[in-house]
Chains A and B, each alone.
Chain A
Amino acid sequence: DAGITQSPRHKVTETGTPVTLRCHQTENHRYMYWYRQDPGHGLRLIHYSYGVKDTDKGEVSDGYSVSRSKTEDFLLTLESATSSQTSVYFCAISPWSGGASTDTQYFGPGTRLTVL
């Protein structure tokens, strides 16, 4: 299994508070991703990173920011959490290198976030 961990695994917070989720990998993969999973919506990409300090938006990036200061860590921040951000958040990594390869992704165990 790919070495990928997420912390915390569970968090309950109140509306308006800042929240940071951490994804840590030991595989030295270039690409890292943050998704949210909600009933009826599958996996939706929030942000992704293609290198240290190189990030881009996904399809549901509003209300979220990310940072990647080291290859192994990718942080997802909710500056002011809202109830609509209650979800399960998954981090993923990929050894994708472009060209003819596919971005097979390896997922972390997830973080269940509840915003009251």
Chain B
Amino acid sequence: DQQVKQNSPSLSVQEGRISILNCDYTNSMFDYFLWYKKYPAEGPTFLISISSIKDKNEDGRFTVFLNKSAKHLSLHIVPSQPGDSAVYFCAAGNTNAGKSTFGDGTTLTVKP
């Protein structure tokens, strides 16, 4: 049973437009959520996180929205840039556990 799902394996957007990456979870015990970005041949890097007590967190061009009732979160990138082309992983965890569960990732391609 996959607890964190990213249903879109890939997404292609034009430079300057908005990219929206989605993530769904099933475990109601998750109380924080993170997004990681991964370039080929490199390890993932932390991008942004959100606590379950918030519904939005913003950091520059990146905003994460959390809808707890729907068990859904999304990452918005505005405006998208070619350098944003990467695999994006959604992850979720519980503050008492010390570990996260990752989704399968979404490959974002931003076309110039």
A residues engaging B (CB < 8 A)?
31, 33, 35, 40-45, 48, 50, 58-59, 90, 92, 94, 96, 98-110
Contact = CB atoms under 8 A, between A and B. Distances in A.
B95 interface: yes
Contacts of B45: 106-107
Contact of A58 (B41, B44, B99, B103): B99
Contacts of B99: 31, 33, 45, 48, 58, 103
B103 to A, nearest CB: 6
Nearest to A48: B99
A103 B44 contact: no
A106 B46 contact: yes
A98 B31 CA distance: 13
Interface of B: 6, 9, 32, 34, 36, 41-46, 49, 51, 89, 93, 95-105
B95 A98 contact: yes
21 contacts: A31-B98, A35-B102, A42-B105, A43-B102, A44-B102, A48-B98, A92-B43, A101-B95, A102-B34, A102-B51, A103-B98, A103-B99, A104-B46, A105-B100, A106-B45, A106-B46, A107-B36, A108-B43, A109-B42, A110-B41, A110-B43
A42 B2 CA distance: 11
Contacts of B41: 109-110
Contacts of A92: 43
A22 B9 CA distance: 31
Nearest to B97: A103
